[in-house]
């Protein structure tokens, strides 16, 4: 991975130049993407990148610089840039490297089967998605987008504290957007399948799912304004997890941007609710042996039996709070410094099937889409949210008429406290990140319609 790059020598160079501590973050990544349209390959792209990020610490000042040029003179130049950058920032006693504590274990995140897959097989997955959607119903007018992608990343972190670990990971996914038409009305549907090998992808099932989502919404009309039980499948529930996760980071709390500030130890959800962040989850999308600054990833119970237990910390926010890092430092790439963010963040599954959750509702709303929730539809400070929603009405435990042009509104704390039934069908949503929920029921939400 870094055979031609002597990272140990760069650490020594930094120490010779007078840094108190130094960290090197090496990343090499490969991404493959393709799209098909009407049975033909529309585009096929591959991208490869590698680079090195250098963080230095001098007198409680942190500096950073990066490079993708591994010539020795360029490395020296980048190191000196990081040192120069450190000298112009204000001292911050909380900016430190983490101490090396836990043993890092290999999680076997790399699947050679995916790496050896033929491009023809990847194309076939995409074509099968398109065919499955088109054959589902004659009202499927267009399969607007069918995409396949896979990625492979190598990470190595070495620092002056004695940490030196690496890992390799690869994943793949395929998705589609479809348009259903009836008379002058059109509705869209989407679905995604993911795994660490082509054999884990389910193009037939996923193509049908996207088509069904679109067809089922044709003919939708608003319902009267009311309060009613609402059921959220994973595709929508995960969007609420995204919003909650941002408000449950220590950075948001420390900056006064979280409805959960000052609520540690309080009951903020129903007793049935358990929310976990687990960077070691075997089937997770953001699983890694260690985080972006070398702290071992862990399983963190954030909300347990309805009570707020902790926030998510990286080293900086943990130092400020007098806590230990939860292993939640992340980086967009080698070009950035670490910041706190969730890993695999999810609502723990219950013991009911998705069908049983649905059947429990005599008169309520099954939400299939929301608009705007992850782009400003929720206020992280007050917890209030209001978003457009589309779905199906529930009558006597069964899906009935399609519903559109309504708004659902509430408060995140009330939302969590009103979750009263949780399914067992835990599922991630790669379209927005490593967030997962099963199907769950909220006993009442305000629905604004006609």
State residue 324's pLDDT score: 98
pLDDT band at 2; cut points 50, 70, 90: low
pLDDT band at 101; cut points 50, 70, 90: confident
> Which tens digits make up the pLDDT trace of 256-280?
999 999 999 999 999 999 999 999 9
Q: How far apart are the first and last CA of the chain?
A: 60
Dihedral sign computed on CA atoms, order 147, 154, 167, 287: negative
Residues 6+ apart with CB under 8 A from 183: none
Q: What percentage of the chain exceeds 70 in pLDDT?
A: 99
* Mean of pLDDT over the chain: 97
User: Average pLDDT for residues 180-187, to the nearest whole number?
Assistant: 96
Give the DSSP H or E segment for 415: helix 412-417
- Bridge-based pairing state of the strands 345-347 and 433-437: parallel
pLDDT band at 5; cut points 50, 70, 90: confident
- The full set of domains in the chain, from first to last, is 112-215 (3.30.2290.10), 226-448 (no CATH)
User: Average pLDDT for residues 155-168, to the nearest whole number?
Assistant: 98
Q: What is the DSSP letter of 133?
A: H
Q: How far apart (Å, rounded) are the C-alpha atoms in residues 182 and 403? A: 16
> Which tens digits make up the pLDDT trace of 313-369?
999 999 999 999 999 999 999 999 999 999 999 999 999 999 999 999 999 999 999
Checking if the pLDDT of 4 tops 70, the result is: no
> Which tens digits make up the pLDDT trace of 8-64?
999 999 999 999 999 999 999 999 999 999 999 999 999 999 999 999 999 999 999
State residue 102's pLDDT score: 82
Checking if the pLDDT of 1 tops 70, the result is: no
């Amino acid at each position: 991975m870094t055979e031609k790059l002597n990272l140990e020598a760069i650490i020594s160079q930094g120490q010779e130049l007078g840094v108190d501590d130094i960290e090197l973050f090496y990343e090499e990544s490969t991404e493959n993407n393709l799209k098909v349209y009407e049975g033909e390959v529309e585009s096929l792209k591959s991208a490869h990148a590698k680079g090195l990020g250098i963080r230095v610490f001098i007198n409680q000042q942190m500096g950073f610089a990066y490079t993708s040029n591994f010539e020795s003179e360029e490395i020296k130049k980048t190191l000196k840039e990081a040192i120069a950058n450190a000298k112009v920032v204000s001292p911050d006693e909380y900016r430190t490297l983490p101490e090396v504590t836990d043993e890092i274990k290999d999680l076997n995140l790399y699947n050679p089967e995916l790496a050896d897959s033929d491009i023809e097989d990847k194309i076939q997955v995409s074509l099968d998605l398109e065919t499955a959607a088109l054959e589902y119903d004659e009202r499927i007018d267009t399969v607007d987008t069918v995409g396949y992608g896979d990625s492979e990343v190598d990470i190595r972190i070495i620092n002056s504290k004695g940490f030196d670990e690496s890992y390799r990971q690869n994943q793949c996914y395929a998705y589609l957007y479809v348009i259903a038409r009836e008379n002058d009305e059109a509705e869209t549907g989407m679905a995604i399948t993911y795994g660490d090998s082509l054999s884990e992808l389910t193009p037939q099932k996923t193509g049908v799912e996207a088509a069904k989502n679109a067809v089922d919404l044709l003919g939708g009309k608003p319902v009267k304004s009311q309060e009613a039980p609402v059921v959220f499948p994973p595709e929508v529930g995960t969007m609420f997890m995204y919003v909650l996760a941002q408000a449950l980071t220590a950075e948001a709390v420390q900056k006064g941007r979280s409805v959960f500030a000052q609520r540690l130890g309080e009951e903020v959800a129903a007793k049935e609710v358990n929310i976990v962040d687990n960077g070691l989850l075997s089937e997770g999308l953001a699983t890694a042996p260690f985080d972006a600054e070398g702290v071992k990833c862990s399983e963190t119970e954030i909300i347990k039996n309805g009570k707020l237990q902790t926030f998510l910390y990286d080293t900086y926010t943990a130092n400020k709070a007098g806590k230990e890092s939860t292993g939640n430092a992340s980086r967009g790439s080698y070009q950035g410094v670490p910041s706190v963010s969730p890993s695999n963040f999810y609502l723990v599954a219950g013991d009911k099937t998705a069908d049983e959750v649905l059947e429990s509702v005599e008169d309520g709303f099954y939400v299939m889409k929301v608009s705007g929730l992850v782009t400003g539809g929720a206020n992280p400070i007050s917890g209030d949210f209001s978003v457009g929603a589309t779905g199906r009405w529930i009558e006597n435990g069964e899906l009935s008429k399609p519903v559109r042009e309504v708004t659902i509104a509430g408060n995140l704390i009330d939302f969590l406290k009103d979750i009263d039934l949780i399914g067992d069908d835990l599922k991630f949503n790669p379209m927005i990140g490593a967030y997962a929920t099963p199907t769950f029921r909220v006993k009442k939400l305000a629905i604004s319609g006609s």
